[in-house]
Amino acid sequence: MSGKILTLAIMDGPYESTCSTTAFRIIDAALRKGHSVKVFAYEGAVSLTMKAQKEHPNPAHGTSAEDEHHVLTKRWVEGLYELAKKHHVDLDWVNCGLCVDERGAGDWVVGPTRGGPADFLTMVENSTNTLVIPSKRNS
């Protein structure tokens, strides 16, 4: 482990923006390099960890859920926790509590914890660097 910590703030919900995928890729690369990662999931991003996500068939293509082989964001988060364990580094994923309550998104996979913007400040103060990935707004 490097002793370095990267904090990310993410805001996009699952299946809405490529930014979520890029955020997962950044976290994955950081963990593999032996860095600890802190994630502050804000707004729609709190739904990334929802336990109720499930695969589904695609009637338009006539494919089953198995054929579709969906990537569920909750599985990705679970995989990142396993990766952190494998590399002996920490993944600290905090879901914004108010954002969770607004969305009824409180039932999530093992790992993430509930917090608030004050936790994000603490994360920033205790990290090597911080990247904020805001929701995309066209202009």
Partner 1 sequence: MSRYLLIESRDPFDSRDCDWLYETAKGLSKVGNEVTVFFVQNGVLPSRKGSRYENYLHQLSLYNVKLLADSLSLSERAISDRHLVAEVSISNMDQLVDLLMDDQLKPIWH
The residue from 28, 55, 78, 90 that contacts partner 1 (CB under 8 A) is 28
Alpha-carbon distances of 73 from 20, 34, 47, 57, 129, rounded to whole Å = 9, 22, 9, 17, 24
130 is a contact residue toward partner 1 (CB under 8 A): yes
Residue 123 is classified by DSSP as H
33 is a contact residue toward partner 1 (CB under 8 A): yes
Query: 23, 40 in Cβ contact below 8 A?
Result: no
Report residue 39 as tokens.
């994630």
User: Minimal distance in Å, beta carbon 137 to partner 1?
Assistant: 9
6 is a contact residue toward partner 1 (CB under 8 A): yes
From 33, 21, 47, select the one nearest 101 (Cα to Cα).
47
84 is a contact residue toward partner 1 (CB under 8 A): no
1 is a contact residue toward partner 1 (CB under 8 A): no
86 is a contact residue toward partner 1 (CB under 8 A): no
- Residue-by-residue DSSP string for 25-83: HHHHHHHHTT-EEEEEE-GGGGGGGBTT-----BTTTTB-HHHHT---HHHHHHHHHHH
The residue from 26, 72, 83, 98 that contacts partner 1 (CB under 8 A) is 26
The residue from 13, 14, 30, 96 that contacts partner 1 (CB under 8 A) is 30
Kindly list the residues in this chain that would bind partner 1 in the complex (CB under 8 A): 2, 4, 6, 18-19, 22, 25-26, 28-30, 33, 35, 128-134, 136, 138-139
